[in-house]
Amino acid sequence: MARRKLELTLAINDYDHVRDLVSGAVPVEGVDLTCLSYSVEEIFFRFTLHREWHVSELSLAKYCALRAAGDTSLVAIPVFPSRSFRHSAIFVRADGPVDDPRALAGARIGVPEWTQTATVYVRGLLAETYGVSLTGVEWVQGGTNEPGRIEGVAVDLPDGVRVTRVHDR
């Protein structure tokens, strides 16, 4: 008797390096895989709140925030479909006074979410490489392409960290 395949649904962004998996060109032995493609923001938000599918791309920072809050309902596997250096994720006004990341000390810095992996890396880069303390700036949380984006998980900020959430941008 033929062994029945395990049915799994995977939600993942449309990356070029996973397209053969998503299209079925590269099969998963023993698995009947259904792939769903959404934006990472939608995947993270929906999976964090509703667990709508079996397997999901999820940001490392969101996973760590969930674990830190005591949520042990997810098991992380070491697969990182989105990998990049985040040095290019720091933008400043061309006509402004900032010409070096160290000049961001004491400034207002905008982020789309506190628990977004890219912003975790950038905060670490600013603190560890350029000496910009997490408590030495005012963090402003707003949407990148959607006003008033909210966190998908509860956030317990470190002592002294100030985050102002704006809802109109």
Distance CA 102, CA 124 (A): 13
The pLDDT of residue 134: 95
Cα distances (angstroms) measured from residue 66 to each of 85, 138, 157:
24, 24, 13
Cβ neighbours of 104 (radius 10 Å): 18
Residue 86, amino acid: R
Is the entire prediction scored with pTM above 0.95?
no
**Mean pLDDT, all residues of the chain:** 89
- 84 conformational bin, left if phi > 0, alpha if psi -120 to 50, beta if neither: beta
**Strand 31-36, strand 108-111: pairing:** unpaired
The yes-or-no verdict on residue 123 having pLDDT over 70 is yes
Give percent of the chain above pLDDT 90.
54
The yes-or-no verdict on residue 53 having pLDDT over 70 is yes
Please write the tens of the pLDDT for every residue from 15-31: 888 899 999 999 999 99
